[in-house]
Amino acid sequence: MILSTRGRYGLKMMLELALNYGKGAMPLKDIARKQSLSDTYLEQLISPLRKSGLVNSTRGAQGGYELAKQPSEIKVGDIIRVLEGSLAPAQCVLEEEPECSKADYCATRLLYEKITESINKVIDSISLKDMVDDYYMLNNTNNKRRSENE
Partner DNA sequence: TGTAAATCCTAGTTTATTACTAGGAATTCA
Partner DNA sequence: TGAATTCCTAGTAATAAACTAGGATTTACA
Query: Which residues of the chain form contacts with DNA (CB under 7 A)?
Result: 4-6, 27-29, 38, 40-41, 43-44, 46-47, 50, 57-65
How many angstroms separate the CA atoms of 122 and 113, rounded? Answer: 14
At 105 the three-state DSSP class reads helix
**Residues 6 or more apart in contact with residue 118 via CB below 8 angstroms:** none
Number of shown-chain residues binding a second copy (CB under 8 A)? 48
The C-alpha angle 144, 25, 128, rounded to 5 degrees, equals 55
Q: Please report whether residue 25 would count as binding a second copy according to CB under 8 A.
A: no
**Binding-site partner at residue 47 among a second copy, DNA, none, CB < 5 to 8 Å by type:** DNA
Q: Under a CB-based contact definition with an 8 Å cutoff, are residues 66 and 26 in contact? A: yes
Binding-site member from 27, 30, 35, 39 for a second copy (CB under 8 A)? 35
Binding span for a second copy by CB under 8 A among 46-54, 57-65, 66-74, 124-132: 124-132
Helices (H), the chain: 5-19, 28-35, 39-51, 76-84, 103-123, 128-141, 145-149
Q: Please report whether residue 98 would count as binding a second copy according to CB under 8 A.
A: no
Which parts of this chain interact with a second copy (CB under 8 A)? Answer: 1-3, 7-8, 11-12, 15-16, 19, 35, 76, 85, 87-91, 101-108, 110-112, 114-115, 118-119, 121-123, 126, 131-132, 134-135, 138-139, 142-143, 145-146, 149
